[in-house]
A and B are shown apart, each in its own frame.
Chain A
């Protein structure tokens, strides 16, 4: 499907109450457009429940279900089981946040993945618990301010690196895993369509900027996602039958600092912390693209150990 051929009908309609520029709302709207009417949706506790379905108004034109927070995998599995026994051809999609996926919902997601339930799991990753007012999750990047990783006199921002969710999910040997970004619509559409054409447990990991959570300009959602990819903070790839394939490679690596400075959540970061994060990104870049990263950006050799190793880690583990 070409961008211009996207169906006009919005099954997630205007009138929802997400903040202007919300990456999650944009991702939902465009995904559900591609899937069409024969779809049923589960959304766990997250911003998307509030902005899509606050009684008596609902933005959904496909069946919508919600019960709790940590149960997306099990809920969509149960819904699908019912459609299967009833002989109904309905695609079931769960749209869970990063908190609902990396952290509290990991077990439920893992169960559905391991059983290879015929559902689509989408993680809308805005890198913190936004609905409860911006708290750190396992998906929060190094250095980021959140209300539970405040910028204090002694400690500034989040001290750990973003969890490698892709490898955790892919380790379940599922049919399809892909990372997406709303700033790369051609790649986005292709991956959603591909997930639609497949059976079994499919996982789409969407990078979804959050305006208040990232303290950014609501007009810059697309720009920020683009810069995330160009800098290596987010990588567009897919894993099919255990094989990882990069689906978009930036021409030239941008500095992570360029990405960080667009967002208030990073603006406090010290040069030292930025360097640490840059090293982490360079190592990731190396693994993803099999090259060292741009000269002048990655001239500092990345650490030999796995990409999460920092001074903090060394101290923690007594290395």
Chain B
């Protein structure tokens, strides 16, 4: 059934549909609506979960880890400062193979303080072992909460996962969302049944001190699980499409790439705007296309190489900065495309919540086309930034 709801509301409904059992929570804009909706579901008796009002995000992730280790399906949500505050616990969770799902509503990280979208918060957790997926609209937000449990709890993976959505652009904006039937979700997602957990009948020790003789093996196993997640993501997407009729493409999605000469790599909500721009430019005979980066971890290096082979140039949109000259997605893409000869241009835009308009995306395409023709184009471009010239 279609509901016109915010992204945060869609996420909360997703958590309810997944029958999550423990929800430790702490407020932060623009995530707060999620936990408020869940609190209402619980207090109205619509959701049979233990809702825990924690006293900090560090404690949220500590309780989440404890509950997950004790065998429960756990959900929580955070943003920005909250994610930074729980950083230690984010790292603690993944190698213990605790399949927690935590939605991160992307928001800039102080300083300077701001509450609008930027990806510096989640991208800072790149190396934690968490999987990360970025969504384009409220429907995908809901759907990816459901898919996330299937991916995270898969025995080949057993890792926590962070579905990420753009602060305000999705979190506080209403869109029509098809809310699936509970029975359909039940048929897609079975209850969480861990093989190993804190069970007094079969005592396990989880979180031991790991001396150097064993440490690397544990890291290798976590790395292996992140790699294994690639095929699981694709499988789950395929099966989800069969059951729910919505196909998101897997690790990446493409738009009008069949005969494209250049491509723009997008992430999150700018993708929707870029789709419209591609249609307009195609009408003018310009052969442009989009590769939508969905998963940042595992990073789809081979998939990108395949999708981008033969391009005259590639543009990469980054909505955050790594202070190393470009954005984090740019660094990863360039490394993935190593050995391929096309120019790769980094388009920094929309950082801190500034609008990324059709015109701006058109400019990005034009500059990328220019680079493909061998024109002189800066490698890293700060778009629409005072004091900066193209």
A61 part of interface (Cβ distance < 8 Å): yes
Interface 9-mer from A37-45, A150-158, A274-282: A37-45
Most buried by B among A49, A53, A65, A73: A65
Also in contact, A78 and B70, with CB within 8 A (given A54-B211, A61-B203): yes
Interface 9-mer from B50-58, B233-241, B248-256, B282-290: B50-58
Interface 9-mer from A103-111, A218-226, A241-249: A103-111
Residue numbers in B under 8 Å from A42 (CB-CB): 66
Which listed residue, A55, A60, A62, A78, touches B214 by the CB 8 Å rule? A55
- Nearest B residue to A85 via CB reads B21
Give the shortest distance, in Å, between A286 (CB) and chain B (any CB).
Answer: 35
Residue numbers in A under 8 Å from B54 (CB-CB): 74, 77, 111
Provide the A53-84 mask, 1 if CB < 8 A to any CB of B, else 0: 11110101111111110110111111111111
Q: A90–B62 contact, CB under 8 A?
A: no
Also in contact, A64 and B206, with CB within 8 A (given A73-B59, A81-B67): yes
Residue numbers in B under 8 Å from A38 (CB-CB): 200
B10 part of interface (Cβ distance < 8 Å): no
Give the shortest distance, in Å, between B202 (CB) and chain A (any CB).
Answer: 9
Residue numbers in B under 8 Å from A73 (CB-CB): 59
A166 part of interface (Cβ distance < 8 Å): no
A34 part of interface (Cβ distance < 8 Å): no
Bound together, the chains give a CA A146 to CA B66 distance in angstroms of: 33
- Nearest A residue to B72 via CB reads A82
Q: B211–A55 contact, CB under 8 A?
A: yes
Chain A, range 274-312, C-beta contacts under 8 Å to B: none
Residue numbers in A under 8 Å from B203 (CB-CB): 60-64
Q: B208–A54 contact, CB under 8 A?
A: yes
What band does the interface of chain B fall in when counting residues whose beta carbon is under 8 Å from A?
A: 35 or more
Residue numbers in B under 8 Å from A55 (CB-CB): 208-211, 214
Q: A82–B66 contact, CB under 8 A?
A: yes
- Nearest A residue to B53 via CB reads A115
Q: A85–B208 contact, CB under 8 A?
A: no
Q: A37–B200 contact, CB under 8 A?
A: yes
Residue numbers in A under 8 Å from B60 (CB-CB): 74
What band does the interface of chain A fall in when counting residues whose beta carbon is under 8 Å from B?
A: 35 or more
Interface 9-mer from B88-96, B121-129, B338-346, B352-360: B88-96
Give the shortest distance, in Å, between A319 (CB) and chain B (any CB).
Answer: 35
Q: B67–A78 contact, CB under 8 A?
A: yes
B interface secondary structure, majority:
mixed
Bound together, the chains give a CA A272 to CA B22 distance in angstroms of: 55
Residue numbers in B under 8 Å from A40 (CB-CB): 70, 198, 200
Which listed residue, A37, A50, A74, A114, touches B58 by the CB 8 Å rule? A74
Q: A81–B22 contact, CB under 8 A?
A: yes
Q: A54–B206 contact, CB under 8 A?
A: no
Bound together, the chains give a CA A83 to CA B56 distance in angstroms of: 22
Residue numbers in A under 8 Å from B58 (CB-CB): 70-71, 74, 108
Bound together, the chains give a CA A80 to CA B52 distance in angstroms of: 11
Most buried by B among A39, A78, A90: A78
Residue numbers in A under 8 Å from B115 (CB-CB): none
B180 part of interface (Cβ distance < 8 Å): no
Bound together, the chains give a CA A40 to CA B22 distance in angstroms of: 18
Also in contact, A77 and B63, with CB within 8 A (given A60-B203, A67-B89, A85-B49): yes
A2 part of interface (Cβ distance < 8 Å): no
Bound together, the chains give a CA A107 to CA B206 distance in angstroms of: 24
Q: B89–A65 contact, CB under 8 A?
A: no
Q: A79–B59 contact, CB under 8 A?
A: no
B205 part of interface (Cβ distance < 8 Å): yes
Q: B206–A66 contact, CB under 8 A?
A: yes
Residue numbers in A under 8 Å from B204 (CB-CB): 63-64
Q: A110–B55 contact, CB under 8 A?
A: yes
Bound together, the chains give a CA A159 to CA B282 distance in angstroms of: 76
Bound together, the chains give a CA A53 to CA B203 distance in angstroms of: 13
Most buried by A among B65, B71, B88, B214: B65
Residue numbers in B under 8 Å from A82 (CB-CB): 21-22, 50, 66-72
Provide the A90-128 mask, 1 if CB < 8 A to any CB of B, else 0: 100000000000000001101100110000000000000
Give the shortest distance, in Å, between A305 (CB) and chain B (any CB).
Answer: 32
Which listed residue, A53, A80, A81, A107, touches B208 by the CB 8 Å rule? A53
- Nearest A residue to B206 via CB reads A65
Also in contact, A39 and B200, with CB within 8 A (given A67-B207, A82-B22): yes
Which listed residue, B59, B92, B210, touches A74 by the CB 8 Å rule? B59
A86 part of interface (Cβ distance < 8 Å): yes
Q: A54–B209 contact, CB under 8 A?
A: yes
Q: A108–B66 contact, CB under 8 A?
A: no
Residue numbers in B under 8 Å from A77 (CB-CB): 52, 54, 59, 63, 66
Bound together, the chains give a CA A67 to CA B87 distance in angstroms of: 13
Q: B88–A79 contact, CB under 8 A?
A: no
Residue numbers in B under 8 Å from A67 (CB-CB): 62, 65-66, 89, 92-93, 96, 207
Which listed residue, B21, B52, B68, B198, touches A63 by the CB 8 Å rule? B198
Which listed residue, B22, B55, B92, B211, touches A111 by the CB 8 Å rule? B55
Bound together, the chains give a CA A71 to CA B91 distance in angstroms of: 14
Residue numbers in A under 8 Å from B197 (CB-CB): 63
Residue numbers in A under 8 Å from B65 (CB-CB): 67, 75, 78
Q: A68–B88 contact, CB under 8 A?
A: yes
B43 part of interface (Cβ distance < 8 Å): no
Give the shortest distance, in Å, between A100 (CB) and chain B (any CB).
Answer: 12
Which listed residue, B63, B68, B208, touches A58 by the CB 8 Å rule? B208
Given contacts A55-B214, A78-B67, 15 further A-B contacts (CB under 8 A): A62-B200, A63-B70, A63-B197, A67-B65, A67-B92, A70-B58, A71-B58, A71-B62, A74-B58, A74-B63, A78-B62, A81-B72, A83-B70, A85-B48, A115-B53
Q: Which 5 A-B pairs have the closest CB atoms?
A: A78-B66, A78-B63, A111-B55, A74-B59, A82-B70
- Provide a sorted-by-A list of 8 A–B residue pairs whose CB atoms are within 8 angstroms: A53-B205, A54-B209, A54-B211, A63-B198, A64-B204, A64-B206, A78-B52, A79-B69
